[in-house]
Structure 1
Amino acid sequence: MTAAIPLASSRLAARPGVEATPWVLMYHSVSECTDDPYRITVSPDRLDRQLGWLRARGMTGVSVAGLLAAHREGRAAGLVGLTFDDGYADFLHAAVPLLRRYGFTATVFVLPGRLGGQNDWDPLGPRKPLLTRDGIRAVAEAGMEIGSHGLFHTNLVLADDEQLRRETADSRKLIETITGAAPDGFCYPYGLVDARTVEAVRAAGYGYACAIAPGRLAGPHALPRTYIGAQDTAPRLRAKLVRHRWRSAKVAAR
């Protein structure tokens, strides 16, 4: 059983001028969509405004791998991790141009078991196409980090041991066949994580993993993230940043 890994005592321990817990934002789809029951979509215009808000405050969006590397070296001040879950095809056409305009990078967590498929795991809402093999390569060539979201967007907490191994280890191997490099990052579908899934992700060779609110499991293989949606205008972003800094200060004080 995997023990909890407090951020303050792990490789992510804060250094002078660097928050104890890196700020990582969680996006999904970027498109014009009025039917959005799960609140997973931001419009390109809203994303543009959100990225501009970060830039105006001297912040730079980076991939999670880049953020963690900078954090370990004590040079992460002003950096924020940008993640996009599910590997929607609209990331390539709608998000990448905006990220490059601001000089930002991001991490995209893809589903190699659903290449060119759609979000069939969502019973409600519109069908959204997912990145193809060529689309994933194009995203990587644009300077974005590719991570794994498992094979099929499966709730890993409920998976049996063999399914858990396939979703973590096999998805990593498949992504390597697409991009030529084994991904360093994993993202738990639905943000759900327990000690067994953390251990499986670590055993599969991932250097880090993203969750949502992992609680006592928070650490390099269960990084907390801040949800960002269509309603997040400047005041809400400011409030979320303040909340993150308050929580980070509590971690540093442990």
Structure 2
Amino acid sequence: MAASVDSVSTGRPGRPSAPLPGPVPWIAMYHSVGDCSDDPYRITVTPERLGRQLAWLRRRGLRGVSVADLLAARARGDGRDLVALTFDDGYVDFLTGALPLLRRWNCGATLFVLPGRLGGDNAWDPLGPRKPLLNAAGIRQAIEHGVEIGSHGLTHVDLTKTDDATLKAEVAESRALLKELTGGPVEGFCYPYGTVDQRAVQAVREAGYRYACAIDPGPLTGLLALPRVHIGQNDTAWRMFLKLRLHRLRRRPAKGDAA
């Protein structure tokens, strides 16, 4: 079982940092919102499915917010009714498929983007259709609607398999580019593929991020390696309920979820 966020030091080695109060936060992981008929990675949900999932959250008295807002609420001792909604990669369909539904259900979100691939596509995926990524104007449009922007690295590479120079560029240079693009702070990082090790965590810490999201980081769980729950097209209300319960009990995504 992964260690609790409550008990894991997230400061520099040997120097404990303030723990998050209460149970581990519930952070939902989305990717693309659009046509899912050709989706070998199971990372796409249709707008219709996303709308039903957001409606389910609201019926249970929960509201989707950005990771930064969730962590700020938890630091105040609040936020038990909040769920963080994250969208990886920065697909163009975030603006057309996700944003209108977030606004309809009064939800916030965090969008993790790749400043080294602005206006490009998901070239890192060998299978499936090419999906266009947001350009700088699209990212600024998301910001105008209250969406938090975080880094997903420069180009979407597995940080646990890179050399030191590439690791620094993917983590630190991506933050610098996004701060210049957005004109504001960039507090969050998301590990590509969800893979993380101590070396990657240290690079994220040194780059100055406040938090980072993974998938199932095990003993590294903490503010710089937050676990998330994959949400897909097959996640009906019943599956959402089970994933919420399993995440709180096991502090890891439901068994069999895709990265």
Band the TM-score falls in, shorter-chain normalisation:
over 0.9
- Is the Cα–Cα contact under 8 Å of residues 173 and 182 in structure 1 kept in the other structure? no
Residue ranges of structure 1 left out of the alignment (5+ in a row) = 249-254
1:12 deviates by: 4.0
TM-score of the superposition, structure 2-length normalised?
0.91
1:33 deviates by: 2.5
Aligned residue in 2 for 1:170: 173
Instruction: Classify 1:180/1:32 alpha carbon distance in 2 versus 1 (closer, same or farther; 3 Å).
Output: same
- Is the Cα–Cα contact under 8 Å of residues 27 and 67 in structure 2 kept in the other structure? yes
20, 41, 44: which one aligns with 1:13: 20
Deviation digits for residues 26-84 of structure 1 (CA, Å, limit 9, x no counterpart): 00000012000000100000000000000010000000000001011111111000000
Residues paired across the two proteins, number = 241
Report the Cα distance in structure 2 between the residues aligned to 1:150 and 1:73, rounded to whole angstroms. Answer: 30
Aligned residue in 2 for 1:27: 30
214, 217, 224: which one aligns with 1:214: 217
> 1:190-209, aligned counterparts within 5 Å?
190-209=193-212
Please give the root-mean-square deviation of Cα atoms over the aligned residues, in Å. 1.3
1:246 deviates by: 1.6
Residue ranges of structure 2 left out of the alignment (5+ in a row) = 9-17, 252-259
Report the Cα distance in structure 2 between the residues aligned to 1:138 and 1:196, rounded to whole angstroms. Answer: 34
Deviation digits for residues 125-157 of structure 1 (CA, Å, limit 9, x no counterpart): 000000000000000111000000000001100
Structure 1 residue identity aligned to 2:5: L
Aligned residue in 1 for 2:67: 64
- Is the Cα–Cα contact under 8 Å of residues 41 and 230 in structure 1 kept in the other structure? yes
Asked if residue 76 in structure 1 is aligned to residue 79 in structure 2, the reply is yes
TM-score of the superposition, structure 1-length normalised?
0.92
State, as a whole percentage, how many aligned pairs show the same letter: 60
Aligned residue in 2 for 1:252: none
Report the Cα distance in structure 1 between the residues aligned to 2:7 and 2:72, rounded to whole angstroms. Answer: 16
Aligned residue in 2 for 1:55: 58
For residue 25 of structure 1, give the secondary structure of its aligned residue in structure 2.
strand
- Is the Cα–Cα contact under 8 Å of residues 12 and 71 in structure 1 kept in the other structure? no
Runs of 4+ more than 2 Å apart: 9-14
